[in-house]
Amino acid sequence: MRRIIRGQVALVLGAGLAIATGCSDQLPTLTDSDRIPSGIKPVTIEYFLDAADFLVSGLSVRGNTDISNTNFAIVAENFDGALSAHVVTKFEVPPDSHSSSLLPSGTFQWLEATLRTTVVDSLTSDPAMVFSLWVVDEDFNSSVTWENAINDSVPAVPWSQPGGPTTRLVGTTDWVRKEPEDTTSTRNDLVWYVNTSILQDFAERDVQPGFMITAGDGTQTRLGSISLSYLVQPLPETEADTMMTYSLAQVFRRTIISEPAPPLPANAWSVGGISSDQTLLRFKLPLELPGCATGSCPSIPVSAVSLNRVDLLLEPFPVANGFRPVGPLPITVRLRYSPDLGAQAALGRIVSGLAAPAEGFATGTGKEHDFIITAAVANALSTRDTDFGLALTIEPDASQLSYAWYSRTPRLRFVYTLRQSPELP
């Protein structure tokens, strides 16, 4: 009996070892190019559907946002001969003392101030640009617009000149797009040296310093965060002898633009922009697909193929009034539930997305944009649901100045593989 138990223990250990070792199995795999007989090789077909064959309806709807709802900083000057955009900002009042124990009022001297921002070089219209920094002496608040310095009072207080006063130039700075191999963190910095007397003056008047950034003619770009710092030094009679750097907190920052949002185009669909446009599409999906790539052959049920890829192809359309993108535009595609409800149909989950290249929106001759919607279409067809709705948006709302406009001639591309029946030899 004892021997039997020993034997069982040995067997259990052996089996455990064997199973554990076997867990690293590798499937014998051949990778040469002629092992699958040509007669049973999968056949893939690319098939295009024109708008007339699947498009039920398409419309663009305008959101209820405008430039006052945006949070980006964009500067442009006469871009595309139409659009100008300035960035205005206010900082907190410079203090007249920095530490009651170290540098009380009157015990320090201003040395140097700098205003910094960065150029988002992927969202820039030109590889070389000039930027100007202006001091804004006129009072303005966060309701600022292109025409009015204060827009939320009755009556509104207009600027002395639309777009903000350009009377006190702090300086101009050049920016040239750096080579990609330049990975330094400051490669896209814009720096202006601000005369400290300006800050000192604001401090003495107890007024929040206001600045405005403008761009060179014909350009547009997005800027990063803006900061204002300065250096002070204790006066000789104080015990402290170290120079100290301080930063002023930003009170607000606004982009003001010379043009309202462009009207919805008559011949194109619109997506994004400051008005958060959405394009709502409704398709009738096919339940049958061609059974061969060329020539005539019977159609086959879509359930009988392996759907590899489905693309919505949209051709970019020129965007008017300088609102075209200058860099990739992040477009989101969502499902629409019950698309027969039209604009009231609820938006569903995200099914695709694309960083839409900017090129086609300038002249309209760019190649089609390719939105991959394979999973959503396959899911719909698996339940034989041919009523299919999509919404093109840019999220979150009002996160982009620019619009994506597309011709109303969409195409659907189906890439599918005919099913083969595996056989035993």
Residues that bind other proteins (CB under 8 A): 1, 3-4, 6-8, 10-12, 14-15, 17-19, 21-37, 40-42, 44, 46, 306-309, 367, 413, 415, 417, 419-425
Q: Min. distance of Cβ 398 from other proteins in angstroms?
A: 32
Spatial distance between the Cα atoms of 19 and 21, rounded to a whole number of angstroms: 5
Q: How many CA atoms lie within 13 A of 367 on its CB side?
A: 3
Q: Min. distance of Cβ 7 from other proteins in angstroms?
A: 4
Q: Min. distance of Cβ 43 from other proteins in angstroms?
A: 9
Closer by beta carbon to other proteins, 11 or else 176: 11
Spatial distance between the Cα atoms of 188 and 179, rounded to a whole number of angstroms: 11
Closer by beta carbon to other proteins, 31 or else 185: 31
Find out whether 264 and 275 touch, Cβ atoms under 8 Å.
no
Closer by beta carbon to other proteins, 40 or else 169: 40
Spatial distance between the Cα atoms of 98 and 115, rounded to a whole number of angstroms: 19
Q: Which residues contact 80 (CB under 8 A, 6 or more apart)?
A: 321, 322, 324
The token pair at 363 is 């002249």
Q: Min. distance of Cβ 212 from other proteins in angstroms?
A: 44
Radius of gyration of the chain (CA): 32
Q: Min. distance of Cβ 423 from other proteins in angstroms?
A: 7
Q: Min. distance of Cβ 374 from other proteins in angstroms?
A: 9
Q: Min. distance of Cβ 2 from other proteins in angstroms?
A: 8
User: Alpha-carbon torsion 285, 286, 287, 291, what sign?
Assistant: negative
Q: How many CB atoms within 10 Å of residue 355?
A: 12
Closer by beta carbon to other proteins, 12 or else 176: 12
Angle value at C-alpha 216, between 212 and 219, nearest 5 degrees: 110
Spatial distance between the Cα atoms of 217 and 256, rounded to a whole number of angstroms: 16
Closer by beta carbon to other proteins, 18 or else 266: 18
Angle value at C-alpha 360, between 357 and 62, nearest 5 degrees: 85
The token pair at 285 is 């999906």
Chain position carrying tokens 């002395």? 160
Closer by beta carbon to other proteins, 256 or else 333: 333
Closer by beta carbon to other proteins, 3 or else 349: 3
Phi–psi pair at 332, nearest 5 degrees: -110, 140
Q: How many CA atoms lie within 13 A of 249 on its CB side?
A: 3
Q: Min. distance of Cβ 316 from other proteins in angstroms?
A: 14
Q: Min. distance of Cβ 416 from other proteins in angstroms?
A: 10
Q: What H or E segment, with its residue span, contains residue 18?
A: helix 2-22
Closer by beta carbon to other proteins, 367 or else 384: 367
Spatial distance between the Cα atoms of 30 and 34, rounded to a whole number of angstroms: 10
Closer by beta carbon to other proteins, 168 or else 419: 419
Closer by beta carbon to other proteins, 266 or else 424: 424
Phi–psi pair at 24, nearest 5 degrees: -95, 25
Q: Min. distance of Cβ 252 from other proteins in angstroms?
A: 44
